[in-house]
A and B are shown apart, each in its own frame.
Chain A
Amino acid sequence: MNIKKKILVIEDEATLQKALDDVLSQEGFEVLSATDGIVGLEVAKKEKPDLILLDIILPKMDGFEVLSKLKANDKDTPVVILTNLSDLNDVQKALDLGATTYLVKADYHLDEVIRKIKEILCM
């Protein structure tokens, strides 16, 4: 595989952003980051990532709104929700809006997150 797959991480928590960036680059991905919903949407439009990791609680525009806008622009790019909201309603809402899967941060180790991402990208 010569071309690096691009992953956009939309996450406002600096520690988590850094950890994801670190591990994903070591795994050979090109990592783009955004710390709020609006910037996230712009980067997604410009860079056309292969996969998007999206938090729900974000400044300026929340993850649900970002998700529906992303899906309106481009239905096929997989969006993985990575959040700490764990109510069934939130999960259902995100899946209804077209999220590929929904992961609760605190319940996943980093390597499990990576495994999920690779699964979705058929790697």
Chain B
Amino acid sequence: MIRDIVRSFRECKENGLSLWQCPSFLFIVMGLINICSMMGVYVVVSKYDVPEIVVLSVCSVSAIIFSIGLSIIHGFEQVSKANKIKSEFVSIASHQLKAPLSGMRWASDILLSDRNKCLNEKQNGYLRDIQENTTRMIRLVNDLLDVSRIENGKMDIRENIIDVGKEAEGVVRELNSFALAHNAELILNVEDDLGLVSTESSRIRMVMQNFIDNAIKYTKKEKGEVRISLKNEDDFVMFIVEDNGFGIPKKEQKRVFDKFFRGDNVAKRQTIGTGLGLFIAKALIESSGGEIGFDSKQGKGSKFWFKLPISKK
């Protein structure tokens, strides 16, 4: 409780709000004033047994509380405005970043294309590095754009009726070589007669990719195993990815779906990632009417799942 309050104070500070504009501070002040004035009213009332005075003091206490309430609302508006400005900034900056990035990508495309054979192996290697890094940066910018859309409530998805089982098969096929490179095996198990769901196929593939990708990265170094299963559960299609890797430490579990969160393991193992994947995944699944979650024991492995409502059998 106290830790929460301290954190919200810090958030106000980060958003550039003074103490008297900070909703949580004003709330505490209001609570204290409320208690004091109630005691004051009690004292007044017990001294003067006149109904007019009772009414008057209750009215004045209400007036004070009302005005503090107004400034709290104002404070909330300030906070949301600060957040909006931040998101807009991200969105504009991302669009501006995309232009030079596509220039870099296309220029290296030309140099790497078959037509250009005068480069030696080493030069080609460096060019591929440039291209890979450009791709990484583009992915990051796209993720940031998604985040700013989520925060502005503009995460629009183009819904279609899709077969999640088929999509999963496609994703697993694409990731097989990546798994092989990490000495992990992908085991896919799709229940028959799964039912169809309504969501955007490219985005749902992104979520599956993210789950499996994470599982491969965090699974055991030797003989890693990633089990992917799809099954029916009541009126939902359930997608589960289990690994036998490190697991997520208890103290980090609360923050797994937070923006920019990356576990301690990540830093130790130096994997590439932005910490935005699961945050975006959560927003996507929830905007399609589904649920997302995980189960993890340190040292034993993790199990990530999402479920989406079936729209057609």
Interface residues in chain A, defined as those with a beta carbon under 8 Å from any beta carbon in chain B: 13, 15-16, 19-20, 22-23, 26, 84-89, 105-107, 109-111
Is A26 within 8 A of B109, CB to CB?
A: no
Which residues of B from 104 to 161 have beta carbons under 8 Å from A?
105-107, 109-110, 113, 115, 138, 141-142, 145, 149, 154, 156, 158
B101 to chain A, nearest CB (A): 6
Assess the A19–B145 pair: CB atoms within 8 A.
Answer: no
User: Given contacts A106-B98, A106-B102, A106-B138, is CB(A88)–CB(B158) below 8 Å?
Assistant: yes
- Give chain B residues whose Cβ lies under 8 Å from the Cβ of A106: 98, 101-102, 105, 138, 141-142
CB neighbors of A among B65-114 (8 A): 95, 98-103, 105-107, 109-110, 113
What residues on A are CB-neighbors of B109 within 8 Å? 19, 23, 109-111
Closest 7 CB pairs of A and B: A15-B103, A105-B102, A84-B98, A19-B106, A110-B109, A88-B156, A106-B98
Q: Taking chain B's interface residues, is the majority helix, strand, or loop, or is none over half, making it mixed?
A: helix
The reply to whether A111 and B99 contact each other, CB–CB distance below 8 Å, is no
In the complex formed, the residue of A with least CB distance to B103 is: A15
Given contacts A13-B103, A106-B142, contact A19 B110 (CB under 8 A): yes
B145: which A residues are within 8 A, CB to CB? 86
Interface size on B, residues (CB 8 A): 22
Question: Which residues from chain B contact A20 at a C-beta distance below 8 Å?
Answer: 106
User: Are A84 and B110 in contact (CB-based, < 8 A)?
Assistant: no
CB distance from B260 to the nearest CB of A (A): 21
Chain A's interface: helix, strand, loop or mixed, by majority?
A: helix
Chain A residues positioned under 8 Å from B103 (CB to CB): 13, 15-16, 19
Provide a sorted-by-A list of 26 A–B residue pairs whose CB atoms are within 8 angstroms: A13-B99, A15-B100, A15-B106, A16-B102, A19-B107, A19-B109, A19-B110, A20-B106, A22-B110, A23-B113, A26-B115, A84-B95, A84-B98, A84-B99, A87-B149, A87-B156, A88-B158, A105-B98, A106-B105, A106-B138, A107-B142, A109-B106, A110-B105, A110-B106, A110-B110, A110-B113
> B105 is contacted by which of A26, A85, A86, A109 (Cβ under 8 Å)?
A109
Measured CA separation A15–B101 after assembly (Å): 10
**Given A106-B138, A110-B110 in contact, is the A84-B102 Cβ separation under 8 Å?**
yes
Closest residue of B by beta carbon distance from A20: B106
- Residues of chain A contacted by B95 (CB below 8 angstroms): 84-85
Chain A proximity of B97: nearest CB distance (Å): 9
Name the distance in Å between B82's Cβ and chain A's nearest Cβ. 23
The answer to whether residues A15 and B141 also contact, given A26-B115, A84-B102, A106-B101 and a CB cut-off of 8 A, is no
**Closest-CB distance, A35 to chain B (whole angstroms):** 14
Least CB distance from A54 to B in Å reads 15
User: Which residues of A have CB within 8 Å of B102?
Assistant: 16, 84, 105-106
- The distance from the CB of B59 to the nearest CB of chain A, in whole angstroms, is 51
Taking a contact as CB atoms under 8 Å apart, the answer to whether B107 and A15 are in contact is yes
B171 CB, nearest partner CB in chain A, Å: 18
- Indicate the member of B102, B105, B110, B149 with the most A CB atoms within 10 Å: B102
Q: Which chain A residues border B156 with CB–CB below 8 Å? A: 87-89
Contacts of B115 in A (CB 8 A): 26
